[in-house]
Amino acid sequence: MKVSTWPVLLLAAFSAGPTAPAQTVRRADPAKPLEIVLVATTQYATHDFYAHTANGAGPDFRDATSIFPGQRIDLVVLAKNYSVNASKRASLIYDLDITYPGGKTQRAGHDLRLCVGPVPDITLLAYAGQNASFSAESGDPLGNYIFAVTAQDRVAGTSTRKTVTLQVAPYVEPLLPTGFNPSGWMASYYLNPSPELALPALFKIAASLSKDNTDAWPPILGFYEEVLKANPWLAAVFLDRLKNANAADRTLLLFVLGYAWRNDPTYADLSKGPWPDADRGDFNDPMQLDLLWGRFFATGAFAPVDRIASALTLHRSLGALERFKANPSAATSKGPTPEMMQELILKAAQWSLGANAYKHPLVRRYLEWILAQQRPDPMFNVLLKTTLDAVHSAGKPTDSPSSP
């Protein structure tokens, strides 16, 4: 067993009924007790869903009912209708207990911080200041694990308990669902992660692409990099398939693993690089945008969207294409100038942000949050607002990421 905790600090809005005047209120609804929500999820970007969206308006958390040995589960704890004292301070802590198959119980966390300190609005949903994660390691039994959270409201002197049951089951490569849609599966993965499909889905994806469609691969590579990073247990699954793969399948697996593990010296020989760095410095290759979108589809994380949005700072190169048209002899004989490439990347970033914000409410909410920060670059803010205005004027999308 492996249990770890990590700190966060967040309060998100929730709907409450009418309350008494602020100076007499100790809970949002005095007629009801403290309520605890415990979610066991393989969506690892849940903090981003609330920290980088206005009023915590991220997608719903998806409960997991089973995991595989070595797969991580995040135990997210939230509270509402808690008490505050006269200074509007809350004091919520909790213990985490795990009951193993067979009945053994372990105290995995004691006095973990749920919400301790001033609360700006008593109707806010408290996202635990410390959350925990769990994975079954070698030697841990298979079967049902019960996770129990006992929360104490120290202001009111009350406590409540919440449990979830999770099965740890051996991995057996599944058959793809009938009518499996690879692009829909990738685009909606962050809403309902299904890493068990990663290997068979890869072969389905490759079979659906023409051999000369090289532009399709960067988002796939970025996607699989994140899926493999989040699920280290998949490495053995991929490598086991590699042992008996035919020539075509071996080439495919090495291509994907080579990118995902390009920075691991153990697998350095697999990489077909050099690959553009999507994380640092200026953008200089449109492939960087595609790699980042693949990462977002795999995680739902804020960082890839924020990085793509940062390409709007390349506005200093706007007009380079028009200047080239007016004086083509000024361009180098080797191809587009750096300024022309930056303008192309800026326009590609703006288009892709708009297209994905239209289809993915989470992307739109991330961009709205970025715009609300008003970065000290007026043109960046103008370009981002223009992108969002176009999304808002288009209304609700006619389609959304589909499940497998």
Q: What integer pLDDT is reported at residue 317 of this predicted model?
A: 75
pLDDT tens digit sequence for 121-154: 888 888 898 989 999 988 899 999 999 999 999 9
Tally: H helices and E strands in the chain:
12, 11
Q: What share of the chain is helix, strand, coil (3-state, %, to 5)?
A: 45, 20, 35
12 is written with which tokens?
A: 């998100």
**CATH fit for domain 2-168, picks 3.40.50.1370, 3.40.50.300, 2.60.40.3880, 1.20.1270.360:** 2.60.40.3880
For 241, the enclosing helix (H) or strand (E) is helix 234-243
149 is written with which tokens?
A: 């959270």
* Residue 167 backbone class (left: φ over 0; alpha: ψ -120 to 50; beta: rest): beta
pLDDT at 4 > cutoff 80: no
The torsion defined by the Cα of 150, 156, 157 and 161, in degrees rounded to 10, comes to: -20
46 is written with which tokens?
A: 């849940």
Q: What integer pLDDT is reported at residue 257 of this predicted model?
A: 94
CB atoms within 10 A of CB 229: 15
The rounded distance, in Å, linking the Cα atoms of 267 and 258 is 7
- Among the listed residues 89, 99, 92, the one whose alpha carbon sits nearest the alpha carbon of residue 37: 92
Rounded to whole angstroms, the maximal C-alpha distance in the chain is 79
Tokens 């998100």 belong to residue: 12
The rounded distance, in Å, linking the Cα atoms of 111 and 91 is 11
CA atoms within 13 A on the CB side of 63: 10
Average pLDDT for 150-171: 95
- Among the listed residues 93, 102, 194, 192, the one whose alpha carbon sits nearest the alpha carbon of residue 146: 102
- Among the listed residues 238, 261, 355, the one whose alpha carbon sits nearest the alpha carbon of residue 308: 355
Are 97 and 150 in contact by the 8 Å Cβ rule? The answer is: yes
Return the minimum-mean-pLDDT range out of 148-152, 268-272, 288-292.
268-272
The rounded distance, in Å, linking the Cα atoms of 129 and 6 is 8
CA distances from 163 to 60, 72, 116, 151, 387 (A): 19, 18, 22, 11, 44
Q: What integer pLDDT is reported at residue 90 of this predicted model?
A: 93
Quote the crossing angle between the two packed helices 234-243 and 198-208, to the nearest 10°. 60
Q: What integer pLDDT is reported at residue 331 of this predicted model?
A: 56
Write phi, then psi, for 393 (nearest 5 degrees). -70, -25
Q: What is the pTM of this model?
A: 0.89
Residue type, 143: G
pLDDT tens digit sequence for 331-379: 555 667 878 888 889 999 999 999 999 999 999 999 999 999 988 999 9
Residue of 270 and 71 predicted with greater confidence: 71
Q: What integer pLDDT is reported at residue 19 of this predicted model?
A: 41
pLDDT at 9 > cutoff 90: no
Asked, as a colleague might, if the bond just before 274 is cis with ω within 30 of 0, I would say: yes
Q: Which class for 306: exposed (0-12), middle (13-18), buried (19 or more C-beta within 10 A)?
A: middle
CA distances from 305 to 138, 309, 387, 395 (A): 36, 6, 14, 21
- Among the listed residues 187, 185, 205, 174, the one whose alpha carbon sits nearest the alpha carbon of residue 355: 187
- Among the listed residues 234, 278, 204, 16, the one whose alpha carbon sits nearest the alpha carbon of residue 126: 16
Are 296 and 305 in contact by the 8 Å Cβ rule? The answer is: yes
Question: For the chain, what is the radius of gyration of the CA atoms?
Answer: 24
The rounded distance, in Å, linking the Cα atoms of 384 and 372 is 11
Average pLDDT for 55-84: 92
* Whole-number percent of the chain with pLDDT over 90: 66
Write out the residue limits of the CATH 2.60.40.3880 domain(s) in the chain: 2-168
pLDDT at 321 > cutoff 50: yes
- Please state whether beta strands 158-168 and 66-67 pair in parallel, antiparallel, or not at all (unpaired): parallel
The rounded distance, in Å, linking the Cα atoms of 400 and 394 is 14
Question: For 331, which DSSP code?
Answer: S
